Copies of this chain bind each other. A is one copy, B any other.
Amino acid sequence: MKEFELIKQFFTAQPVNRKDVAMGIGDDCALIEASGDSLIAVTTDTLVAGVHFPLDTSARAIGHKAVAVNLSDLAAMGAVPSWISVAITLPEVDEKWLAEFTQGMFELTEYYNVQLIGGDTTQGPLSITITAQGTVARNTALCRSGAKNGDYVFVTNTIGDAGLALAAINGLVELSEQDFAKVKEKLDFPRPQVLVAQMIREFATAAIDVSDGLLADLEHLCKASNLGIDIDLANVPLSDVMLSNLSKKQAITMALTSGDDYQLIFTVPATNKVGVETAMAHANVDYRCLGQLNPSQQINLLLDGENFAVPNNGFQHFS
């Protein structure tokens, strides 16, 4: 395993050096300083090659995505990311691959001032598990269960693009080179909504990130809060690429059922609606309001005034 010892050099060259890291990489454990004023948010996500990303995904994209999906979970809690541990299992030591993988990781960790504090490198089929941690002031965490009856439900940017890229990769839809490049970028380099999370924290009651699909994640939030919602699907935010390559029903179904977008769903009481809308406008963040929560504990989907049933085989149903 000597070769695997060499891997460590790629990880020790990380760009961030936080004051609250008393001991970084190199000992039996890392040591981090916690302030008694904040809670520490902890999340763990694994990406397995061929399951969570196509086998031919670039190493830089894998590195980026492995960090991004974890920062997205921290954002969904309203936490500011601080530290990550990276466990990577690799079939063989490939220095070029590792250089690109860590580049992808570090582009994101440097941007958000997140320090890599440790991890493990092992030999085996390619997979990456990251544990990310951040801080959130007491009583300001955005739990899924915090939403209240009457709260407005917002979602950031557009939904479904990552799913469209995957559909194209799997030969289910044909895209122009230009369109494919646009959605492939969304699939490979998702941008965790860390800054949006900080901005909405004072206005919002609950949040969740869109990793399983808009419908599934809305269901998680509604279930945790014992609420429901009627959604006019005309309000689901869709990109131009989605609208120009899929029928309306296909595009909406894609947005409802495909994951990997890592946008943020959050809920805001009526009294904070103007406040959050003003903040989002100032920050130039695109968002849409999907509707208001109600006590029904059910999600009703409406398109052009009629009930919309998500087909079992997803967007292909309409092709």
Taking Cβ atoms with an 8 Å cutoff, the residues of A that contact B are 22-23, 26-46, 48-52, 73-74, 76-77, 79, 83, 85-87, 89, 117-120, 122-125, 127, 129, 131, 133-134, 136, 141, 143-145, 207-209, 224
Are A44 and B85 touching (Cβ within 8 A)? yes
Residue picked from A31, A89, A144, A207, most chain B C-beta under 10 Å: A31
Are A124 and B125 touching (Cβ within 8 A)? yes
Given A28-B43, A29-B43, A42-B83, 17 more A-B residue pairs with CB atoms under 8 Å apart are A26-B224, A28-B73, A28-B144, A29-B74, A29-B76, A31-B39, A31-B40, A31-B42, A32-B42, A34-B38, A42-B85, A42-B118, A44-B119, A44-B131, A48-B122, A87-B87, A87-B131
Are A118 and B48 touching (Cβ within 8 A)? no
Choose among B32, B52, B79, B131 the residue that contacts A122 (Cβ–Cβ < 8 A): B52
| Given known A51-B123, A52-B122, A131-B85, contact A41–B36 (CB-CB < 8 A) | no
**A140 CB to nearest B CB, Å:** 11
* Residues of chain B with a CB closer than 8 A to A41's CB: 29-31
* Residues of chain B with a CB closer than 8 A to A29's CB: 41-43, 73-74, 76-77, 79, 134
Copy total for this chain: 2
| Given known A52-B122, A125-B124, contact A87–B31 (CB-CB < 8 A) | no
Q: Which residue of B lies closest to A207 (CB)?
A: B28
**A259 CB to nearest B CB, Å:** 10
Q: Which residue of B lies closest to A38 (CB)?
A: B34
* Residues of chain B with a CB closer than 8 A to A74's CB: 28-29
Residue picked from A77, A89, A120, most chain B C-beta under 10 Å: A120
Are A40 and B32 touching (Cβ within 8 A)? yes
* Residues of chain B with a CB closer than 8 A to A23's CB: 141, 143
Are A120 and B125 touching (Cβ within 8 A)? no
* Residues of chain B with a CB closer than 8 A to A51's CB: 122-124
* Residues of chain B with a CB closer than 8 A to A27's CB: 77, 143-145, 224
Are A28 and B77 touching (Cβ within 8 A)? yes
**A252 CB to nearest B CB, Å:** 22
A254 to B5, CA, bound (A): 21
Are B89 and A46 touching (Cβ within 8 A)? yes
Are A35 and B36 touching (Cβ within 8 A)? yes
Are B129 and A76 touching (Cβ within 8 A)? no
Are B123 and A48 touching (Cβ within 8 A)? yes
Are A34 and B31 touching (Cβ within 8 A)? no
* Residues of chain B with a CB closer than 8 A to A124's CB: 48-51, 125, 127
A39 to B30, CA, bound (A): 10
The 4 A-B pairs of least Cβ separation, nearest first, read: A34-B34, A36-B36, A48-B124, A28-B76
**22 pairs of residues in contact across A and B, judged by CB atoms under 8 Å:** A22-B141, A23-B143, A27-B144, A27-B145, A28-B43, A28-B73, A28-B74, A29-B73, A34-B35, A34-B36, A34-B38, A40-B40, A42-B85, A43-B118, A44-B118, A44-B119, A46-B87, A46-B129, A51-B124, A89-B127, A129-B129, A131-B131
